[in-house]
Structure 1
């Protein structure tokens, strides 16, 4: 029997995926605690700190109505049972963070796929991606962030989707430099996502996507006011 992995979960909820190639898909979001990357525009900074003093119960995390640094600990088998207890009906599970690839996600993703779920990981690409071969991996490469962590070529190679937040041409140039080392983009979606829905960033993203036949990713959940 494989060793169970302890997962630290800051948020868990059922919603609609609002970004990237899976936009519009009913999803269970599992937001893991812990991230050293240090993105200045991060909208989940409450997930950065891993501290045992912040551990609480699963129900308190599920029921919370405000962002909080508190999280609960659980293994993959109990998490699957918790989905049923909560009455979730979505069959797509988005594992995000924080930085989810701080964890070995092979036991969780394999368990979920073997029980009729599809899985997706949203990662910064700064850790090796350890997951089931069937998992859809979205790498949102975080370049030259405060944490000083490089984007790994192995993460970009594993990616099914490379979704890059942009505000200016410099960000596209940085992405081009990363993509130059990837063996092939065949079968990969490349998406540009305007940071904070800024009009100038949106215009640049639209123009670039048209010119390169890439995909525009909008944070539609923010436009329609859902989590």
Structure 2
């Protein structure tokens, strides 16, 4: 693996220590920088955009630190991995907190699961969706290399992505969740790879090898 730098965007809303530690574990020779400095972010080879918590607070912190424009700019030019609320912030808008405008990097909305969510057997499902769930790959992508289809990843969220144009993977939790999205140099996941054991570490390792190029997608059967 060539030497490179990864900027983990720090806007006060991510599990940054876990993400940075996971990257350091899989990235031999990779420099991991947890930062809110625009110059450092622009200079990095790859970008991680994490996040936990409410989208209203997320957007407020991004704007107060001047990072909203930074994320929009680097998302157009560098390999970027959005994680959880970081993924949701890349959408057009979210139903959370009465409706919040997001960064509009990717077309799609963030929707509430609802108060009476049930599985196919009619059993009530708890919200937030918390725990391990099967992720079904919908495209062939470098970030899935070495990861078996229908592998399990760890989720924690009360709102889900609806972005049908760029689906890289789905999961089921009362509704179909667009669990991963891919658009050119941006890949985004609703689950937490840093909390998903060896499978999650493999995805992060794949990201550190990815040059952001768009592959020829082949639907995964």
Same fold (TM over 0.5): no
* Structure having the higher Rg: 1
More strand by share: 2
TM-score interval, smaller chain: 0.3 to 0.5
More helix by share: 1
TM-score (norm 1): 0.33
